[in-house]
Amino acid sequence: MNIVVCIKQVPDSTHIRVHPVTNTIMRQGVPAIINPYDLFAIEEALRLKDQFGGKVTVLTMGPPQAEPALRKAMSYGCDEAVLVTDKVFAGADTLATSYVLACAIRTLDAESPVDLVFTGKQTIDGDTAQVGPGIAKRLEMELLTYVSRIVSVDRQARRIRVERRAEGGVQVLETRLPALITMLEGSNEIRFGSAPDMFRAARAEIRVWDRNAAGIDDIKKVGLKGSPTIVSRVFGPTPRAEKAKQIPFDPQTPEAAAQALLEQVLAEVPKVKKELDGRKNAATEGASHE
């Protein structure tokens, strides 16, 4: 099978700190990682390769600095890597991003037909879950979102059966290849790369494509120009008009604080009093049944 996995390099959110005075993100020294949700896509693609053979290509659109993310993906066992990078891509929203990725996948497809495209459920920085559906629509591929399990693949018939997380349950869907799958988190666990894969990843060639190599046919659809949305304002959340009421706390007498809090809340927030009193009655009722 010929599989493409879209991954994004993102700042590791666990290392992000907010400047206490300016309220801005302090990016210095924040390590970059593969978007954690994309690891589930990589693992699922590798499992299909283990089962059916073929190759897995990782694809990212990003700055040249995104290369380590691709090498990391290769260390898990991905065979090839493509970095689509061009100054004109800067400022892209999801519509422009999905356009570039769709063009790149079409270019890969022309080299050797693609059976499956994987994306993560969402990124931790963009957090929109839109890029996957966007690529599928642009390539007119069948779209399977929130897939928790690939049940079976019939390569002869070119059909795939999956379980998809829906609101009130799980949908079992069957469709035709090629298809695009957005993989649900928690559905598998990324493997440890083997030593040979790690060596290979360190030295392997990464294909770096600019807009021409990626097969972008309309420059007006990329980057800021190709984005229908813009950020018009960034601001800090407003503190509530009233400051929080301080309940004095003395470590010697914690009961006093708890008592004071309970009294104040009961007196001042009727909704909470009603909720608690409801439970009081329920509790006595429960007790009388015993």
Partner 1 sequence: MSNAKTDKPIKKRKIKLDEALLAYRGVWVFVESERGHVHPVSWELMGQARQLADQLGVEVCGVVMGAPGPALEAQCQAAFAYGADRCYRVASPVLADYRNVPYTQALTDLVNAHKPEILLLGATTLGRDLAGSVATTLKTGLTADCTELAIDPEDRCLLSTRPTFGGSLLCTIVTLNYRPQMATVRHRVMPMPEPQPERSGLIIDFDPGLIETDIVTKVLEFIPDEQRDKPQLPYAEIIVSGGKGLGKAENFKLVWDLAHVLGAEVGASRAAIHAGWISADRQVGQTGKTVRPALYIAAGISGAIQHRVGMEASDCIIAVNNDPNAPIFDFAHYAIVGDCQQILPALARNFGTYLGRH
Ligand X SMILES: Cc1cc2nc3c(=O)[nH]c(=O)nc-3n(C[C@H](O)[C@H](O)[C@H](O)COP(=O)(O)OP(=O)(O)OC[C@H]3O[C@@H](n4cnc5c(N)ncnc54)[C@H](O)[C@@H]3O)c2cc1C
With CB cut-offs between 5 and 8 Å by kind, which of partner 1, ligand X, ligand AMP, none does residue 60 bind? ligand AMP
Footprint of ligand AMP on this chain (CB under 6 A)? 6-8, 35, 37-38, 41, 60-62, 94, 97, 101, 119-120, 122-123, 126-132
257 part of the interface to partner 1, by CB under 8 A = yes
Nearest to 103 by CA among 60, 139, 137: 139
- Cα 272 to the center of its chain, rounded Å: 37
Q: How far apart are CA 85 and CA 61, in angstroms?
A: 6
With CB cut-offs between 5 and 8 Å by kind, which of ligand AMP, ligand X, partner 1, none does residue 279 bind? partner 1
105-113, 187-195, 196-204, 260-268 -> range binding partner 1 (CB under 8 A): 260-268
With CB cut-offs between 5 and 8 Å by kind, which of ligand AMP, ligand X, partner 1, none does residue 101 bind? ligand AMP
Distances (CA, A) of 199 to 18, 202, 206: 37, 5, 14
What does 40-96 look like in DSSP terms, one character per residue? HHHHHHHHHHHHH--EEEEEEES-GGGHHHHHHHHHHT--EEEEE--GGGTT--HHH
66-74, 83-91, 194-202, 244-252 -> range binding partner 1 (CB under 8 A): 244-252
Residue 129 zone, left/alpha/beta (φ > 0; ψ -120 to 50; rest): left
138 part of the interface to partner 1, by CB under 8 A = yes
42-50, 64-72, 108-116, 166-174 -> range binding partner 1 (CB under 8 A): 166-174
240 part of the interface to partner 1, by CB under 8 A = yes
Q: How far apart are CA 111 and CA 251, in angstroms?
A: 70
- Our CB check for partner 1 shows the closer of 65 and 194 to be 65
Letters for 19-58 (x = contact with partner 1 by CB under 8 A, - = none) are ----xxx---------------------------------
182-201 residues in contact with partner 1 (CB under 8 A) are 186
Nearest to 169 by CA among 141, 148, 186, 197: 148
Q: End-to-end alpha-carbon separation of the chain, Å?
A: 63
- Cα 5 to the center of its chain, rounded Å: 13
Footprint of ligand X on this chain (CB under 6 A)? 13, 124, 127
With CB cut-offs between 5 and 8 Å by kind, which of ligand AMP, partner 1, ligand X, none does residue 203 bind? none
